[in-house]
Amino acid sequence: MTWLKPVDIDPRAQSSYADFFSDLEARLRDPATDRPGLVRETLAQAMYGRDYAALLADAPLAALNLDSRNVTFEAEYYMATDDARFQQVKPLLHLWKSIDLTPLGQNPVFGIPLRRVLAGQIFARVGRDFKCWQNVEFSVGYNMDVGDDVVIHRNVLLDDIGGIELHDGASVSDYVNIYSHTHSVLDGPDVTLRRTVIGRGARLTYHSTILAGSVVSDDAMLATHALLRGDIPPRGIAMGLPARVTRVKVRPPGVVEGFSGPGIDSATHPHDAGRKANPQFPAPTPNQTRLPDGDAALDARLPLVQPMPEPVGGEG
């Protein structure tokens, strides 16, 4: 049973919101819809209370910035971005990010259903009852694969350029960072993409970081401020910098509360071997690091979690 309780608002407001979401979803599903035009009109009404043409006449700088064709996103500068796919979702990401900065976006009864509608048109897949709070950032959006009953809290970074899977019931807490790309330690432009997988019922807690290619198994947990480079087994609880499994949940093997059937086990789940974002560099990236000379103690402490191969680089 959920620990959340229902909250009611004025029925007239709820009806107005529902009509808006229904109309928006229908228009976004129509392949003839001019998405940038729809988004700029929606933002002009939401942010300035007037139509776009009137705003353009009175305040052109404000109006021009509402049109996604007049702004750029970080993803557009990267070789790994599929420009054709990104241009399809760019207006919707612009709407998502912009509304989050308004009172509408800060209002859960409006912001969460709006993001649910947009996710259905942006993500590769999104299941039922997706719940996303405000100020969540995506790299491209179209490489998100999201199951049922997934919750993403505030100020999360989802670097989905290489692909992110969030399976049924996964929970991502505030300020979590999930990466799916890594840089060579010797050459920053040498970027490797690896899909990152978060299993069913897994919980990523406050301000934790998951590096590219990691597999977090069903019912696992990553502790607050932990840094994961590798895998967590089913029911495992990983803590620390870098993370290591220090506890295992007391639950029968193979049982994930609220789920049935096969799920994600990092020991058997296929791992992404990695794809190069920049063809100028060899694949795979050769080993580029070594332990400090004579540091046997450091060598004895590794590995901390199930390891991944090189490269070992920074993100972003």
> Residue 232 pLDDT > 70, yes or no?
yes
Is the same domain home to 89 and 141? no
- Whether 281 has a pLDDT exceeding 90, the answer reads no
Query: In the prediction, which pLDDT does 45 show?
Result: 96
Residue with tokens 């970081």: 209
Range from 99-103, 156-160, 172-176, 301-305 carrying the lowest mean pLDDT: 301-305
Within a domain: 5: no
> Do residues 204 and 235 lie in contact, with contact meaning Cβ atoms separated by under 8 Å?
no
Of 53, 80, 107, the one marking the end of a domain is 107
* Whole-angstrom distance, CA of residue 314 vs CA of residue 209: 12
Q: Do residues 79 and 164 share a domain?
A: no
Which CATH number does the domain housing residue 169 bear?
2.160.10.10
Q: Are residues 157 and 191 in the same domain?
A: yes
| pLDDT at position 132 over 70 | yes
Rg from Cα positions in the chain: 21
Domain count, the chain: 2
Amino acid at 191: V
In a domain, 116, yes or no: no
Instruction: Tell which wins on pLDDT, 85 or 311.
Output: 85
On whether both 53 and 194 belong to a single domain, the answer is: no
pLDDT over 60 (residue 301): no
Contacts of 127 (CB under 8 A, 6+ apart): 146, 147, 148, 149, 150, 168
The helix/strand/coil state of 94 is helix
pLDDT digits (tens, 9 = 90+) for 250-265: 987 666 666 666 789 9
**Is 101 found in the same domain as 128?**
no
pTM: 0.90
Task: Say yes or no to pLDDT of 311 above 50.
Answer: no
Say if residue 55 is in the same domain as residue 193.
no
What pLDDT, on a 0 to 100 scale, did the predictor assign at position 35?
Answer: 98
Place of tokens 């007049």: 70
pLDDT tens across 79-92, in order?
999 999 999 999 99
Is 3 domain-assigned?
Answer: no
Q: What range does the domain containing 78 cover? A: 13-107
Position 115 in a domain = no
Specify the pLDDT at position 296: 58
Q: What is the pLDDT of residues 101-116, one digit of tens each?
A: 999 999 999 999 999 9
Same-domain pairing of 21 and 57 = yes
- Position 247 confidence tier, pLDDT thresholds 50, 70, 90: very high
Q: Whole-angstrom Cα distance, residue 1 to residue 174?
A: 23
